[in-house]
Amino acid sequence: MDAPTTLSFEFFPPKDGAGEERLWHTLAQLTDITPDFLSVTYGAGGSTRDRTLRITSEITARTGIPTVAHLTCVGASGAELESVLTQYKSAGINRVLALRGDPPGGPRDTWVRTSDGFDHADQLVAKAGAMGFDVGVAIFPDGHPASKDRAEDLVTLKRKVDAGATFAISQFFFNVNSWQRLMNDVASAGLNLTLIPGIMPVTNVKQIIRFAELSGTEIPPAIRSRFEAVADDPVAVAQLGVEVATALCHELLEIGVNALHFFTLNSSPATREVVANLGIR
Ligand SMILES: Cc1cc2nc3c(=O)[nH]c(=O)nc-3n(C[C@H](O)[C@H](O)[C@H](O)COP(=O)(O)OP(=O)(O)OC[C@H]3O[C@@H](n4cnc5c(N)ncnc54)[C@H](O)[C@@H]3O)c2cc1C
Distance from the alpha carbon of residue 105 to the mean position of ligand 1, in angstroms: 14
Q: Residue 206 contacts by C-beta under 8 Å, 6 or more apart in sequence?
A: 231
The two beta strands, 194-199 and 95-99, are unpaired
Distance from the alpha carbon of residue 128 to the mean position of ligand 1, in angstroms: 16
| pLDDT of amino acid 2 | 67
Residue to mutate (ligand 1; options 81, 88, 120, 161; most atoms within 8 A of CB): 120
Digit-coded pLDDT (tens) for 127-168: 999 999 999 999 999 999 888 899 999 999 999 999 999 999
Digit-coded pLDDT (tens) for 184-196: 999 999 999 999 9
Distance from the alpha carbon of residue 33 to the mean position of ligand 1, in angstroms: 30
pTM, two decimal places: 0.97
Give the nearest ligand 1 atom to 157 CA: 29
For the chain, the residue count is 281
CA separation, residue 139 to residues 11, 51, 70 (Å): 18, 26, 14
Element (H, E) at 196: strand 194-199
* CATH-assigned architecture of domain 6-278: Alpha-Beta Barrel (3.20)
Cβ of 66 closer than 6 Å to ligand 1, yes or no, is: no
Q: Is 79 exposed, middle or buried (0-12, 13-18, 19+ CB in 10 A)?
A: exposed
Q: Is 180 exposed, middle or buried (0-12, 13-18, 19+ CB in 10 A)?
A: middle
Cβ of 141 closer than 6 Å to ligand 1, yes or no, is: no
Q: Compute how many other C-beta atoms are within 10 angstroms of the C-beta atom of residue 91.
A: 18
Active site residues: 10
Asked whether the CA dihedral 11, 228, 144, 150 is positive or negative, the reply is positive
Digit-coded pLDDT (tens) for 228-277: 999 999 999 999 999 999 999 999 999 999 999 999 999 999 999 999 99
**What backbone torsions phi and psi does residue 168 show, to the nearest 5 degrees?**
-140, 135
Digit-coded pLDDT (tens) for 194-214: 999 999 999 999 999 999 999
Q: Residue 141 contacts by C-beta under 8 Å, 6 or more apart in sequence?
A: 170, 171, 173, 175, 178, 179, 181, 182, 197
Average pLDDT, whole number, for the chain?
96
DSSP-derived letter for residue 162 is: H
Give the confidence band of 106 by pLDDT, cuts at 50, 70, 90: confident
Distance from the alpha carbon of residue 126 to the mean position of ligand 1, in angstroms: 15
Of 112, 141, 126, which Cα lies nearest the Cα of 215?
Answer: 141
Digit-coded pLDDT (tens) for 48-77: 899 999 999 999 999 999 999 999 999 999
